[in-house]
Amino acid sequence: MSDEPIELERIECEAENLDHYKRMRTLLHRSRHPAFMGPDQMSRCIKKGGHVWIYTHNGEDVATMWTEPAKGYPDEQHGFVISVVGEWKSKGLAREILQRDGPRFGRAIDGVLGFFADCGYRICGPAKTDKKRHVVYPLSRDPRDWLDPETEDGMLAEETLRVSLDAYRAEREERAAKAHAKAPRELAPELSTMRFSELIGHTPSA
């Protein structure tokens, strides 16, 4: 993953714009997003003050993010979808989007909690179990919303985040090591133009 910023253009979807919906739906399909998001759902989200964004890189649609007005915070947004196409998942694109446009609030299940923690989000309320029996954690990037670490709930939240964050970082390091091992290795300049038979027994000059 490069530390260089990824050049992105953000397109704000319009309610009842079928072309925008088709592009967004294609992104969800390419990224294997588990939930179906219909055109009416997109229109309702936008009409009630939320946002549906499409992100492009060099003219290619690469990601989408949905936010909605946060309950009790009229000037804040709550993120509930961020989806990146497969070939961009390991290039830091989701992180780049959250750094640029990440809402104050969000939610995450166990499997991605470590990623959001690494991006600065913390648990800000009690976890709930959804219809698919996933444990869902409410998140915020604003310290004013975080649970008090001196309370029992706060200590449990901190431990949950620590375990998830450690697992996420270990997995990321493992992926990076595998990618490095698979990367083609360059030959020394004097070897790159030689035939294989000439390489045998050849010692590069100092």
Q: What is the pTM of this model?
A: 0.80
CA distance 94 to 169: 15
Take residue 10 and report the two structure tokens written for it.
């953000």
**Average pLDDT of span 154-165:** 96
Q: What does the buried/exposed string (b/e) look like for 152-177 if buried means 16 or more CB atoms within 10 Å of the residue's CB?
A: eeeeebeebbeebbeebeeeeeeeee
Task: Please list the helix, strand and coil fractions of the chain in percent, rounded to the nearest 5, in that order.
Answer: 40, 25, 35
Which pLDDT score, from 0 to 100, does residue 175 have?
83
pLDDT digits (tens, 9 = 90+) for 89-136: 888 899 999 999 999 999 999 889 999 999 999 999 999 998 888 899
Give the mean pLDDT of the chain: 87
| Of the candidates 108, 119, 115, the residue with the CA atom closest to the CA atom of residue 164 | 115
CA distance 63 to 5: 15
pLDDT surpassing 60 at residue 195: no
CB-CB neighbours of 195 under 10 Å: 7
pLDDT surpassing 60 at residue 2: no
